[in-house]
Amino acid sequence: MSDYLAHEGLEHAERAREHLDGAPHHPFLRGVPLVAAILAVCAGLSSLYGNRLGEAMLILGNEAVLDQAAASDKWNEYQAESLKAHLAGSIGALSQTPGVKQLFSQSERSYRKRQPPLQAEAKRLEQEESDAIARVNRIEAKKLYFDVATALFQISIVLASISAMTLRPPLFIVGLIGGAIGLISCAVGFFR
């Protein structure tokens, strides 16, 4: 969704006010400019908060990718140590010289000792990746409420403005209902 700027809604409110100034007295529609201005502010704030949530999603997504790469590196190190241990053990087993056999046996043990910390670090990094992805999903669900609210506020502003220009109060009521649903969507997003 594109960024919504509050001044766009305020421009709608101003046009509605100008139109009502020259129109016959319609008491019900006199509140249109004020309602449109309030909805414009709400649209701007929900758009701003939705954008901030989008930025947080990007940051967490980047962290997840970095954690995935780091975990992959640790697993590669783990596999390399395993391969070196296997080779050292095989060479030691095939060797006929006791000193060489002992040297490769020590090397094998040394490589095997390095594996558990690498495995633990790889698993920790995988867990951090999973946690970051879960946070991204939670933020994305929350952001959706603000995106919907912004769209509802925009639609409500347009309906309120059209009601003033066409002198049709039912459109104003529909705009008010849309604005109320937008406020509910914002509240759900905040408390989700």
- Domain limits, the chain: 6-191
**Residue 165, Cβ density class (10 Å: 0-12 exposed, 13-18 middle, ≥19 buried):** middle
pLDDT of residue 21: 60
Q: What is the tens place of the pLDDT at every residue in 56-98? A: 999 999 999 999 999 999 999 999 999 999 999 898 888 888 8
Q: What is the tens place of the pLDDT at every residue in 25-68? A: 667 777 888 888 899 999 999 999 999 999 999 999 999 999 99
pLDDT of residue 5: 58
- Per-position DSSP letters for the chain, written without gaps between them: -----HHHHHHHHHHHHHHHHHSPP-GGGGGHHHHHHHHHHHHHHHHHHHHHHHHHHHHHHHHHHHHHHHHHHHHHHHHHHHHHHHHHHHHHHH--SHHHHHHHHHHHHHHHHHHHHHHHHHHHHHHHHHHHHHHHHHHHHHHHHHHHHHHHHHHHHHHHHHHHHHT-HHHHHHHHHHHHHHHHHHHHHHH-
| pTM, to two decimals | 0.71
> Quick one: average pLDDT of 150-164?
92
